[in-house]
Amino acid sequence: MANVVVVGAQWGDEGKGKIVDWLSEQADIVVRFQGGHNAGHTLVINGATYKLALLPSGVLRPSKLSVIGNGVVFDPQAFLDEVERLQGQGVAVSPDNLRVAENVTLILPLHRELDALRETASAATAIGTTRRGIGPAYEDKVGRRAIRLMDLADHQTLPHKIDRLLAHHNALRRGLGLPEFDGAVILKELMALAPQLLPYAETVWRLLDIKRREGKRILFEGAQGALLDVDHGTYPYVTSSNTVAAQAATGTGMGPGAVGYVLGICKAYTTRVGQGPFPTEQDNEIGRKIGERGREFGTNTGRPRRCGWFDAVLVRQTVRTCGIGGLALTKLDILDGFDSIQVCTGYRLDGKEIDHLPAGEGAQARVEPIYETIEGWKEPTANARSWADLPAQAIKYVRRVEELVGCPIALLSTSPEREDTILVQNPFEA
């Protein structure tokens, strides 16, 4: 009986929310282990739409315990707003079913402001962040000056921690010609939030260790995608955290041995939000058709996603860097009706064929995709719930994807609804 890690195998927006929600029925605990409220999930359950950003998808299952791990950066106001919104939709969210790591790093207004200032300073240096303060908060974490959730309970040391934080940020603001932050104001704001936040605080590594020893099933929910990993992604057009599966251990305080089966999520095509390389991008009628049919707009930002053909090179690469044991292929139905479908099987760089995406920014921008053409299908795959419901040519496409990425398809999703899922291999029983 394995614990399961769910990670995005592309640039995020692969449909992880639905898959995590689907798997959470079998789990006892659902844990977010990295990222922040820049990672949105849209779930459709019995016709109702739920939009999550910071909270684990498990909160939509009444009997499950949801956990936000220490690898997340935590915006207090965004958290309280999201809790209030879900409660307004009839979802019970309280310390009874949601815990937050006491050592989680807080995102403060100064982080959001700095993020926006950097992103708007120059088009040449913009990387397409969501301007929600994620990067600056992670910077303060590794700079050892962050304010953490448990600090709100220590009224004696918190003022000194704020002073240490502002020694850095006010120097930056002076350099930008901006007024400095007043530590007393920040202290007052945090003290006002403390009574609402501290009831959720938990020693998460200990909690998860106890639950694992009791035989509970743990589902680790990743945000964004492996190609946005700060080490293994398309740097510098990446997020500020590690998004690969190994972060499930670091971001929760569990040892690597407690992390079991890795399920990668990928679309039957490819999308990307923001700047950065995208070898198979179709900035043409095909890309627009995919985007319109797939409703490719960011859950949090509303930004249209860039769309293109499936890139087997990139997914094969993330299968390796994440140790993925099986893939969940989503949005197959968006490709219904195409006469032919292109799949990228390799790259050409400066006249030479290569089988991976190089790490250098310049080389990534120069790679040219090598395509294989696959016959399309006219019959619908939407709402299919078994292999027998799929057109023969759609099955051939799925099998070819498996061959090219070197990893089996464990799940197939054919609509946003929970029930429209074809199970090939149960990750919890792998």
Q: Are 405 and 413 in contact (CB under 8 A)?
A: no
pLDDT class of 49 with cuts at 50, 70, 90: confident
Catalytic (active site) residue 13:
yes
For residues 118 and 149, which has the higher predicted lDDT (pLDDT)? 149
Tens-digit pLDDT profile for residues 212-254: 999 999 999 998 999 999 999 999 999 999 999 999 999 999 9
CA angle 274, 278, 279 (to 5 degrees): 170
pLDDT at 116: 87
Task: Count the Cβ atoms, other than its own, within 10 Å of residue 205.
Answer: 17
| Token pair of 230 as six digits | 């700060």
Predicted local confidence at residue 45, as pLDDT: 79
Q: Cα angle vertex 300, ends 297, 303, to 5°?
A: 35
In whole angstroms, give the CA distance from residue 367 to residue 339: 26
| Tokens 């990307």 -> residue | 272
pLDDT of 88 higher than 90: yes
pLDDT tier at 415, thresholds 50, 70, 90: confident
Q: What is the full DSSP assignment across 129-143?
A: --SSSHHHHHHHHHT
Residue 307: φ, ψ to 5°: -125, 150
* pLDDT tens-place string over residues 314-362: 999 999 999 999 999 999 999 999 999 999 999 999 999 999 999 999 9
Instruction: Give residue 1's pLDDT.
Output: 57
Q: How far is CA 281 from CA 193, 323, 365, in A?
A: 44, 26, 12
| Average pLDDT value for residue range 54-75 | 94
pLDDT given for residue 35 in this prediction: 93
| Catalytic residue status for 41 | yes
pLDDT of residue 310: 98
pLDDT at 28 over 70: yes
For 284, the token pair is 């043409």
Residue 127 pLDDT grade (very low, low, confident, very high; cuts 50, 70, 90):
low
Residues with Cβ within 8 Å of residue 123, at least 6 apart in sequence: none
DSSP classification of residue 429: G
Candidates 41, 111, 169, 232; catalytic one: 41
pTM for the model: 0.92
CA distances from 14 to 11, 107, 224, 408 (A): 8, 26, 8, 17
pLDDT tens, residue by residue, 144-178 = 999 999 999 999 999 999 999 999 999 999 998 89
Distance of CA 2 to the CA centre of its chain: 21
Q: Which burial class, exposed, middle or buried, applies to 51 when counting CB atoms under 10 A from its CB (0-12, 13-18, 19+)? A: middle
